[in-house]
Amino acid sequence: MIARPAPAASGKPRLTTSAMIASIAGEGQRTKPAPFGHALVEAARARPGIVGMTADLGKYTDLHIFAKEFPDRFYQMGMAEQNLFGAASGLAAEGFTAFATTYAVFATRRAYDFIHQTIAEENRDVKIVVALPGLTSGYGPSHQAAEDLALMRAMPNMTVIDPCDAHEIEQIVPAIADHKGPVYMRLLRGQVPLVLDEYGYSFELGKAKLLRDGADALFITSGLMTMRAHEVAERLKADRIDAAILHVPTIKPLDEAAIVAAAAKTGRPVFVMENHTVIGGLGEAVASTLLRNRVQPAGWHHIGLPDAFLDAGALPTLHDRYGISVEAVTARVKAALG
């Protein structure tokens, strides 16, 4: 729910507590409800081996839609994330494709060893789908998974995906259902914005896509920051700045060829944008790729969350504070380009 502004002494709207869990959709932006839940139902109709599992968070990961449609294929494991992933591994060992949902912090911190030992090492067909990735919750460090991609990138056998919008999530679900092996997928839930359909985009596992080209700057992005990059690029047109956007939904395996090809184009700086700490995520993966391939762009800028425990508060305020709002990113790009 988006907070209803209350008057403040400064004259600016004062955000209420509900803004801590507000939708990331901008005012007037097109959205689609619960794309993951609906896509999983459609995938399960054609794939009888799919089961849905959660640790008391069905409603908050949109898995309740699957549970209503397939109650005999849904498992509510309670507040026990380690049991959730151990059981998911067991079902996968018996030939099922388990979609297990929770919050990103609970998967990557509380149950990391269980995922590592029972799912990744055994290369089990478990899809770990996590809500509240990066800075999409205002409830402070206990619920802000700022470092999840770094943790999951380091795990052997794990495919790691950071979707941008509802259009992409709908395409990712059947793709990972058909992919054999463990997957870690960040989730945007509830009323999820629509952006990529404007580009005629189609998701391919392991592939980056150039959404738009431009001579003045290259944005390499994933997740909701692709959405932000789109808005930033539109705003920059007023200053006659033409920005390209390379969307990288699959963080691992990384599409190094597409990144090298886009960054090797002379005369434009690279801006990597991610909803993740600057340690160990997309930015460092891209930097390593360019270094190993001896590609030196006209400039290098990394926009991400700081190496710090983040504050609690209203999401719009936090996104401004940590530099990932449209306004903050626009200002940084313009300053870098002079």
Task: Please check whether residues 333 and 304 belong to one and the same domain.
Answer: yes
pLDDT of residue 266: 86
Share of the chain above pLDDT 70, in %: 93
On whether both 56 and 79 belong to a single domain, the answer is: yes
pLDDT at residue 28, rounded to an integer: 83
* Residue 13 covered by a domain: no
Residue 65 lies in a domain: yes
Q: Residue 98: inside a domain, yes or no? A: yes
Residues facing 243 on adjacent strands: 217
The reply to whether 16 falls in a domain is no
| CATH number reported for the structural domain that contains residue 70 in this entry | 3.40.50.970
Same domain for 213 and 130, yes or no, is no
Range of the domain at 278: 206-337
Boundary-marking domain end, from 162, 193, 224: 193
Mean pLDDT of 2-17: 49
Shared-domain flag, residues 155 and 255:
no
Task: Specify the residue for token string 């803004």.
Answer: 19
pLDDT, averaged across the chain: 94
Closest by alpha carbon to 231, among 337, 335, 324, 131? 324
For the chain, what is the domain count? Answer: 2
pLDDT in tens, 154-167: 999 999 999 999 99
Q: Are residues 302 and 237 in the same domain?
A: yes
- How many angstroms separate the Cα of 301 from the Cα of each of 28, 221, 283? 30, 12, 9
> In this structure, are 189 and 220 located in the same domain?
no
- In a domain, residue 94? The reply is yes
Q: Is the pLDDT higher at 266 or at 146?
A: 146
| In a domain? residue 136 | yes
pLDDT by residue (tens digit) across 195-204? 999 999 999 9
CATH at 219 = 3.40.50.920
